[in-house]
Structure 1
Amino acid sequence: MRAPLKRLRRWLVALPAAAVLAVGVTAAPNSYATADSSYQRGPAPTEASVRADRGPFQVARVNVPGAGFGSGTIYYPTDTSQGTFGGVAVSPGFLSPEILIAWLGPRLASHGFVVITFTTNTPTDQPDSRGSQLLAALDYLTTQSPTAVRQRLDNTRLSVIGHSMGGGGALRAANDRPDLQAAVPLGPYHTTKDWSGVRVPTMIIGGQYDSIAPNDQHSERFYNSLDSAPEKAYLRVTGTTHITVGTGTPGVGKYVLSWLKRFVDDDTRYDQFLCPTPSGPDVVEYHSTCPHA
């Protein structure tokens, strides 16, 4: 079970500021609520390290059969000296194979996560089905994955990522399982626009030129509806389309990693990339609750 004090701390900090728009906020670099550092993994981050394809940990991989999802691949750090690692499940989008989101597996695992990417049951599965499959993939990680994987996994620190309809699935998974630590929908698509029931820290990343799931109809509306999320952010990444926000750029990778490090690992060293409001060549638009400590 989740440590109650950890969840309570997040809620007490988030309540006064949950609906604040952080554009233009002037705050100290570590503006997110102070968290314990017992889950810090790896060296202190730099701009170069969060943009890099690989982090400090060596990675092993294992192919796994489906169990409520299509077949998948687990990536995990081989290191056993730093304790256990948080878990991440990643879903592709409509008609998309696992290979399109597979870049997140070795990238995140090499920074200290146990990651499962998977093929959906059918290529045309709708967002809610993909949400159920994301949760099934997490359940597989915690209960059925190989012993070497489970020995490295902290099953109280789990998160979801999805692209397109998989991003809509990530919203559904977060809505249905509020004890998740983080959700990151990439170019999310869903016919449901109200996600006020989500109580999971959620970063929505949209493509600058997304004509398939236009931001004003999807990502922006989803972000604006996240009234109950203890933390939320919306980022539109420079130069990305609906496809490339899911297949990855250094900028997308930077913010996915930073969000997971901050909210799955409670690693405040990554605050510098999230709050105060980031700017630079990757950022077209950014909004966040970004509460003061």
Structure 2
Amino acid sequence: MRTRVDAGRLGVIGHSMGGGGALDAALRRPALQAAIGNAPHLPSGSLAGDRVPTLIYAMQNDTLVTPARLTSLYNTIPATTERAYLEVTGAGHNYIGQPSTVLARTMIPWLKIFIDDDARYSQFLCPLSNRAGISQYRSSCPLISTTAMVS
């Protein structure tokens, strides 16, 4: 794999405990380009040290990892870190296991902006171009890849 993976273009994604693991990885590896937590369970409840562009998905009807808990988690991300919070309308905790245009049309731009340094995808998130299936959205618009600014 070492010859097939570009170590300069890495991101993490996970769901539930795996989502918490993805966010924990972002805290521990600030060189990552993007982190996405889908209904992430992060026992510490804080992303105060996060420097990686982070997208948090909450599911409106999730009783395991509630939107209120994830809103609080989102609010701990430093203002200097690119971030977004998206709540999927009517979804429960295991929504991630179903095909979803909501996730695809927001996750792909996030990865393109921060891993591929492709600013053209910002138009889909800043402002959010399609709110169908989304009950809440907030972000640190404009979304700017710091690696694009460095190179």
| Bin of the TM-score, shorter chain as denominator length | 0.7 to 0.9
Q: Distance in 1 between matches of 2:63 and 2:28?
A: 28
Do the aligned partners of 1:202 and 1:229 also contact (CA within 8 Å) in 2?
Answer: no
Structure with higher RCO (Cα < 8 A, 6+ apart): 1
Amino acid at match of 1:170: A
Unaligned residue ranges in structure 1 (runs of 5+): 1-140
Kindly report the root-mean-square deviation, in angstroms, between the aligned alpha carbons of the 2 structures.
1.8
**Structure of larger gyration radius:** 1
Q: Distance in 2 between matches of 1:291 and 1:269?
A: 12
Over 3 Å counting, the alpha-carbon distance change for 1:266 and 1:248 in structure 2 is: same
State the partner residue of 1:259. Answer: 110
User: What's the CA shift for 1:168?
Assistant: 0.6
CA displacement 1:259-279 (0-9 Å, x = unmatched): 001110011121111102444
Q: Distance in 1 between matches of 2:126 and 2:79?
A: 20
Do the aligned partners of 2:19 and 2:36 also contact (CA within 8 Å) in 1?
Answer: yes
What SS does the corresponding residue of 1:156 show, helix, strand or coil?
coil
Do the aligned partners of 2:24 and 2:42 also contact (CA within 8 Å) in 1?
Answer: no
TM-score calculated relative to the size of structure 2: 0.87
Confirm or deny that 1:189 pairs with 2:51: no
TM-score calculated relative to the size of structure 1: 0.46
Q: Distance in 1 between matches of 2:129 and 2:17?
A: 27
Residue among 96, 119, 138 paired with 1:287: 138
State the partner residue of 1:173. Answer: 25
Residue among 218, 221, 226 paired with 2:77: 226
Count of residues in correspondence between the two structures? 144
State the partner residue of 2:56. Answer: 204
What SS does the corresponding residue of 1:188 show, helix, strand or coil?
coil
Map 1:1-293 → 2, pairs under 5 A: 141=1, 143=2, 150=4, 153-217=5-69, 219-227=70-78, 230-291=81-142
Over 3 Å counting, the alpha-carbon distance change for 1:221 and 1:196 in structure 2 is: same
User: What's the CA shift for 1:176?
Assistant: 0.1
Do the aligned partners of 1:183 and 1:203 also contact (CA within 8 Å) in 2?
Answer: yes
Do the aligned partners of 1:179 and 1:200 also contact (CA within 8 Å) in 2?
Answer: yes
Do the aligned partners of 2:60 and 2:66 also contact (CA within 8 Å) in 1?
Answer: no
Unaligned residue ranges in structure 2 (runs of 5+): 145-151
User: What's the CA shift for 1:230?
Assistant: 2.4
User: What's the CA shift for 1:173?
Assistant: 0.1
